[in-house]
Structure 1
Amino acid sequence: MASGPSSSNTKQRNNAMNCSVCFEVFTDPLILKCGHTFCKKCTDSLIRCAKENAQQQYHYGTPTIACPECRAEMPADGKYLVKNFRLADIINHFNLSLETDPKDVGATVWVANPPSPPSRASIEILCNSCNEMYDPKHIFCCSWCSSGGQEPFFACGTCCVKKHQQHPLTPYEQMATPEEREKFVNDVMSMLLDTSNNLQADFGESVRITPEYQNLKNKIRDSFNFWNPVLNNLRTNPKLTKQAIEDHGNIIDYFLNLCEDTISQVKRIEQKHADDLIALRATFSHKVDDAFNKFGQSLNVPMPSTSGVAAPSGK
């Protein structure tokens, strides 16, 4: 007889057959409009909580539910739910296999036996609502309950359905780790330092040293100092998400591009003034030559050209 499946494959199959709300093997699995599947009793609980919240908040119209997996909203109405026949057939197949020949199912025995708890990850997170420990994939960070506190407020899938229905939730796996926050801050600080040094060098080559140019230089320098406390806060912020890091990175990229574009405009202004000075000198030389020529004609004496000469000789 062939050997049983590997532990990793077994664990993946076990996870696929368990509802992410009650953590038990699916019973009467129903598919939401977003495509995620949950037990009928769990979807009934979702709908019931949504209707109760709507009544408490005097909400008119059809209340909505949010998918515990992706937070997609849909009407809290059972007619939108469809039975997942394929998944139900698979679960029934394993239940039948247990009854006929238990020794052939090997490591998958617990899948068809709901009372046996699934294996947990090496890291477990405390749900701040029910004070139970859960696998990180079943934990969400509630932004509403985290506001005003130093630490994030975590809730399991069941508590999210019962107590955090209308709150903005972020899956724990989308929260930024300390290592990700540290790497982001270090990378940004390196970019800021390199850009600041380059801009200072470019400004050092500026020809027009006027109060306006000096004020602009000071403004750009001070704007770089703004990021120091911001980055220190991001480094120690446990509520930071991966999406927030990406958004902050886009803002910093915009800031760096703005500084570089400003320096480019300074150079264009300087070049424009240089071009204006060249044109002014050429006009001056032409008009002086014309005046000298007229003066020489009146005396019938040839006059020297002033092209490339700063001033007439005086003779």
Structure 2
Amino acid sequence: MRIWFDLSNSPHINMFHDLIRELESEGHEVIITCRPLANTVDLLVQHKLEHTIVGEHYGKNIFRKIFGYPIRIWQLVSFLRNKNIDVAVSQSSFHSPMVARILRKPSIYTNDNEHALGNIPCFILASKILIPENLPMEKVVKKGGRISRILHYPGVKEGIYLWKKGLQIQDDRKQHPPDKKSIYVRPEPLTAQYYNAGVNFLDNVLESLKSSYNITILPRDKTQLAHYRQEKFAGINVPEKPLKFDEIARQCALFIGAGGSMTRELAILGIPTISVYQAELLEVDKFLLERKLMLHEPRLASSQLSDIMHELEGKEPDLQLLEKGRQSYQLFKEEIYKFKKQ
């Protein structure tokens, strides 16, 4: 088979890396396209995944997004027209199902963010829609998805790619416990269309904590990199290139996330996690909060931190979610193979 993945944002690399490698090892050809958004290109290089940059990201402004959408559609169609793909696969790439339909090819689309407006054309056009078990089908149907094309997968999307390494990371953390003062912070997704909350709202907290804790900021782009390299944040580690996920997971005593995917990744691995996300919570986040896998403190104060760290200490990975991740991984692979030419 010839399978096209459009990896249009940073979390997509971790999600599909193992699946792509397995498909390639079984003799299939994988074509990867991406765009220069957040840490996407750096992570593809870090994971040594061959890729082609197609188009650009048009920022948060809704009018620029609308203007740029057909441009990247045309660019992708032009790039893929003679590639003779068998199926398109994507996680929240709003371009992939449309391009596949123009090329008269089937597409598999998955997303766990029910608030994203870009879902609408994808739900209408995708051949198969995969959503986590906690996201009601009705929310997809309301945005154009046909119930006959929708399939629930077990657990949450982060489990799909963490099931293999989750227990190993926990074993490593037990043998070599992280420094209790080691805090990693992921800022808010400031360019995302669905994000309509505060920007740089953690600044005062970080300034208060930097003399007592070893803080590492994980910036999403050059704007955040420049912001956190201001003099007032001196003493905080702000790496220019994205760190390897396994390194973060092994060294992190506490994770503070103002976004989604990375926050959920650390939470289901049993790593003490605080979500400070200020926009409307997704169903998947509510699901993890109900299971007490993380805390939600959108107005986090530095005075709370010591008590919160004590409360979260000793968390174990959710083995049920990791097992469901293994099941979902196999399900994704089976759905791809359903489009194999006879």
TM-score band by shorter chain is under 0.3
Instruction: State TM-score, norm by structure 2.
Output: 0.19
Instruction: State TM-score, norm by structure 1.
Output: 0.20
If asked which structure has higher relative contact order (CA below 8 Å, sep 6+), I would say: 2
Q: Which has the higher helix share?
A: 1
Q: Which has the higher strand share?
A: 2
Q: Which has the larger radius of gyration?
A: 1
